[in-house]
Structure 1
Amino acid sequence: MIAVKDRLRAEPKSRWRFPVTLEGMLYLLPSIVLFAVFLFYPMFKTIYLSLFLTDAQGNAQIFVGLEHYSQLLSSPSFRASLKATVLFVLYTVPAGVILALGLALLANQKLKGIGFFRTLFSSTMGMSVAASSVIWLFIYNPAIGIANTIMTTLGLQEMQWLLNPDTALISVAIPTIWMNTGFSFLILLGGLHNIDASLYESGKIAGVSDFYSLRKITLPLLSPTLLFIVTVSLINSFQTFGQIDILTKGGPMESTNVIVYSIFKDAFVNFNIGSASAQAVLLFAFILIVTILQFKWSEKKVHYQ
């Protein structure tokens, strides 16, 4: 047996082996091609176009450097769009995460018929943005909408929900929270199911309250899931478009003209592709900075099991 092993070692390796690095790159090639075509090329093309004046077809004509950026930063309209975007994020993200967390905690209880409520709470995931926005368009209708019917029933004055600059942004934020709650609820419920039940049993034996268990067990162990939900919710809120287009079209008086809708108008209504590209680059940079700061801040707040 030993002689056979020695003979095998002595035989030269005549078979050519494929380089490991090249083999790995071949496995990654489909993903690399998809990222290159649908992510990297559009991103670099957007940066390129932001430095040029373009024609109506989006072809670069005259190099202007950073002129689009300087015009945007000094533009009252862009600053109003930035303000509307930040306010929209502040309206939707904290309220949406807290609502989804409350529903997940409720649905995590071992109660009879709780499966029905789990289905109900996650049902908004099955509706498109367009369909949901049309439903809320009817709800806010000044003549036949249920929102004003509730207001008059409570003895309050009817409101022009989508036509008043003071209430339009909040009126769009409410449907957004409703639409995004289903996804956040399911992810948080999955995170709650991954927490070891023995920890709660030990807490009950020690005589701690439910609130203490929530603060010291549930939230620390759920923090990675919460970080994911907050990050995704932030990015989605910054990129909101569909409900704005259907409900208000950026009005009234540009009170709901968030940056993504401003990009759409500049690109496909005014055919100012250069300015729209510059806004897209600024939005990307803003989201990137906010995400990095969030991860830096949460380094000491997130606990992994």
Structure 2
Amino acid sequence: MTKLKIGYRRKMLLLPFLFLLPALLLYAVFFIYPFLYTLLLSFQQWNMISPERTFVGLSNYAALMHDEVFWKSLLNTFLYLLMTLPASIAIGLGLALLIESLQRGRTVYRFIFYLPVISSIAVIAIIWSLMYDYQSGIINKLLSLFGINGPNWLSNSSTALWAVAIVGIWKSFGYEMLLYVSGLKAIDKGLYEAAELDGAGRFRRLVHLTLPLLSPITLFIIIMGVISSFQNFALIKIMTNGGPNNSSNVLVYQLYQEAFQFFSIGKAAAISVILFAIVLLITAVQLRLSRSSVHYS
């Protein structure tokens, strides 16, 4: 009888893993295997045409360390992150607070501001490229009404990355807005009433009540925003092609160039591994720092 019970318990312990097996197999095939394969490629030299591959050890990583374009792309990636993420969070939070304070039309405004998020990024990039056009673009035409001679946004080294960042902010702040709206709806209104009875004004309620209670959502937005910023490719490809003079080049676009323009698969794989390590490190630091600043209750 005891052996039967032990056997039954073992079967019950293995049963959850049996149900998880299909998902684990898909995860292994589509995530773990590609990552390990990419890691292996980063130690090889291969042009994706010849069947022969040469093991070169850390040569691909060493070549990147001496590549000025790589360091420029890395710097631009961080600059793009700093240009877009704080602004999109601030705009998203401000719009969420404004929309929730309205008595009517909340659904309409949420739909309008969320529309860029679900729009095709290729269409958005093309439309904004036309708006940035030096001669016929609407942006420079509006600036000319105020006597300002607008620059050649996408062909100027000092403005190209800023121009792309503005589009990135415009496309993403609706996502942050929607998350903050859901967070505001989850806050107990009684807390605001109690704070108001204690004499707390709107600003104090915002700083000491609303923002701390929204901190888990803010942490999630920051983590996802970092990942999204480091994956920025379509806007760069369509709007600037990384130019002029690599002024708007980012790591993902350089990865694309190394793989599909220069056919240097080893260097492209090395860039992807470095990109993964950077995102992983930033996320780990964020989670570590959030232990004392994020309030889950």
The 3 A distance-change label for structure 1 pair 58 and 235 is: farther
| Structure-1 separation of matches of 2:124 and 2:51 | 36
Q: Are residues 1:190 and 2:182 paired?
A: yes
Provide, for residues 132-163 of structure 1, a one-character-per-residue CA deviation record: whole Å limited to 9, x for no partner.
11111111111221110111011111210000
| Structure-2 separation of matches of 1:34 and 1:246 | 32
Q: Are residues 1:224 and 2:216 paired?
A: yes
Which letter does structure 1 place at the counterpart of 2:137?
Answer: G
Deviation of 1:108 after TM superposition, in Å, equals 1.3
Which of 146, 149, 152 is the equivalent residue of 2:144?
Answer: 152
Q: Are residues 1:29 and 2:18 paired?
A: no
Q: Secondary structure, in 3 states, of the residue corresponding to 2:53?
A: strand
Which of 125, 147, 167 is the equivalent residue of 1:133?
Answer: 125
Q: What is the number of equivalent residue pairs in this alignment?
A: 296
Partner in structure 1 of residue 73 of structure 2: 81
Partner in structure 1 of residue 116 of structure 2: 124
Q: Secondary structure, in 3 states, of the residue corresponding to 2:101?
A: coil
| Structure-2 separation of matches of 1:48 and 1:59 | 15
| Structure-1 separation of matches of 2:196 and 2:139 | 44
| 55-64 or 138-147: bigger deviation | 55-64
Which of 275, 287, 292 is the equivalent residue of 2:267?
Answer: 275
Q: Are residues 1:46 and 2:38 paired?
A: yes
Which of 89, 93, 100 is the equivalent residue of 1:101?
Answer: 93
| Structure-2 separation of matches of 1:34 and 1:131 | 32
Partner in structure 2 of residue 165 of structure 1: 157
Q: Secondary structure, in 3 states, of the residue corresponding to 2:54?
A: strand
Q: Are residues 1:175 and 2:167 paired?
A: yes
| Structure-2 separation of matches of 1:257 and 1:214 | 39
Q: Are residues 1:111 and 2:103 paired?
A: yes
Which letter does structure 2 place at the counterpart of 1:270?
Answer: F
Which letter does structure 1 place at the counterpart of 2:36?
Answer: F
Determine if contact 1:264/1:276 at 8 Å carries over to the other structure.
yes
Which letter does structure 2 place at the counterpart of 1:250?
Answer: G
Q: Secondary structure, in 3 states, of the residue corresponding to 2:206?
A: helix
Partner in structure 2 of residue 266 of structure 1: 258
Deviation of 1:246 after TM superposition, in Å, equals 0.5
Provide, for residues 212-244 of structure 1, a one-character-per-residue CA deviation record: whole Å limited to 9, x for no partner.
000010000000000000110111001100111
> Highest CA radius of gyration, 1 or 2?
1
Deviation of 1:57 after TM superposition, in Å, equals 3.3
- Segments of 5+ residues of structure 2 without an aligned counterpart are none
CA RMSD of aligned residues (A): 1.9
| Structure-1 separation of matches of 2:294 and 2:112 | 30
TM-score (norm 2): 0.95
Partner in structure 2 of residue 287 of structure 1: 279
Partner in structure 2 of residue 7 of structure 1: none
| Structure-2 separation of matches of 1:128 and 1:181 | 15
- Identity percentage of aligned residues: 39
| Structure-2 separation of matches of 1:35 and 1:58 | 30
Which letter does structure 2 place at the counterpart of 1:28?
Answer: L
The 3 A distance-change label for structure 1 pair 73 and 59 is: farther
- Segments of 5+ residues of structure 1 without an aligned counterpart are 1-9
| Structure-2 separation of matches of 1:46 and 1:59 | 16
Partner in structure 2 of residue 61 of structure 1: 53
| Structure-2 separation of matches of 1:38 and 1:107 | 40
Determine if contact 1:134/1:246 at 8 Å carries over to the other structure.
yes
The 3 A distance-change label for structure 1 pair 59 and 261 is: farther
TM-score (norm 1): 0.93
